[in-house]
Amino acid sequence: MIVIDGSYGEGGGQILRTSVALSVITGKPVKIIKIRANRPNPGLRPQHLHGILALKELSNAKVKGAEVGSTALEFIPGKAEPKHVRVPVKTAGSITLALQALLPAMAFTGGSFEITGGTDVPWSPPVDYLKNVTLFALEKMGLKVELELKRRGHYPKGGGLVTGRVEPWEERKPLVALEWGRIERFGGISHATNLPAHVAERQAKAAKERLEDLYSAPAEIETEVSRSLGPGSGIVVWAETDSLRLGGDALGKRGKPAEAVGREAADELIEALTLRKAADKFLGDQLIPFLAFAGGEIGVTEITNHLVTNVWVVEQFLGKTFEVEGEVGEPGVVKVVRGVEI
């Protein structure tokens, strides 16, 4: 059984998500100890638990320690097979973080999913980023994922709903994406839930003006107004380049002008673009488990602690797989140096 120290490096939920996904993919049992030991509220939180339970269902696994607050978990996978997996995160726990656990494993089985929880919440990728930036890159690697946003969910009530389907990953294409040469266009989605339409419109207008002031490429930012359990707003913008897409996002909150939200998202994207690397720092981290199986090399705007920790977890299962060029906090390159056959 592989033993993973959950307090290693960045020490967050990503260790758990990647470990259990790789356990399902490789068939190797795993024990994770000191789960989120360095966090103010250590142990499993609801969104982590539901991701584990989804992978348990997908792989007919035996699990010990799968409860909120647990600091140790044993996961013994059975035979993984295509299924329709339901993940009922009853809080505003992040749907996209649950998908970070589920998608790598489902790539090898296929199947469909239905997840409730938070779609646009702090400290996790917004669903529009996952759909328009992450899945865009995965498609270049040969992985087809359909994802549909049925309902938004914001902190603290949640209530969001996302459904989707993953096709079995039959042709794994190496991804070589080091730098971008030109920007084809800017895209984006600005939303307001249980709020006036002008909130979404003002966020979009501010982001569009900021991007088009600096770049000649057009910015096409959609606006969306919807109803859910609670109010909230946000915006995701992305630059489609001749390589990948880079993204920026921001959430609204009480007292924060909609214009400030739009500019914040645009500025995050602009900062990433100035470094000329193909992948922003969030995408770089998210691609690590997939790169291990597809091969290739990517340029990232920042080598983050998340990325380095994710590389470490992958290599506990697969052996030496990556070479990371660059220091933490600086731009760099991640290369797959040894292919993995599954």
- State yes or no: 53 annotated in a binding site: no
Beta pairing class for 183-193 and 83-88: unpaired
Strand, coil or helix: 323: strand
Cβ-proximal residues to 253 (8 Å cutoff; 6+ apart), any chain:
none
262 is in an annotated binding site: no
Strand partners, 249: 236
Collapsing DSSP to helix, strand or coil, 50 comes out as helix
Residues 149 and 127 sit within 8 Å (Cβ to Cβ): yes
Amino acid (one-letter) located at 230: G
Angular region, 123: left φ>0, alpha ψ -120 to 50, beta rest: left
At 340, which amino acid appears? Answer: V
284 marked ligand binding residue: yes
**235-268 b/e with 16+ CB inside 10 Å = b?**
bbbbbbbebbbbbbbbbbeeeeebeebbbbbbbb
Tell whether the torsion through CA atoms of 178, 179, 183 and 186 is positive or negative.
positive
In this structure, what are the phi and psi dihedrals at residue 76, rounded to the nearest 5 degrees?
-115, 100
47 is in an annotated binding site: no
285 among annotated binding-site residues: yes
Nearest to 75 by CA among 99, 48, 94: 48
Contact by Cβ (8 Å): 245, 265: no
Q: What is the torsional sign of CA 253, 256, 260, 262?
A: positive
Per the listing, tokens 């498609």 go with: 139
Comparing CA positions, the residue from 162, 156, 154 lying closest to residue 251 is: 154
Of 327, 326, 319, 323, which Cα lies nearest the Cα of 335?
323
Provide the annotated active-site residues: 306
Q: Binding site: what residues are annotated?
A: 100, 282-286
Annotated binding site for ATP: 100, 282-286
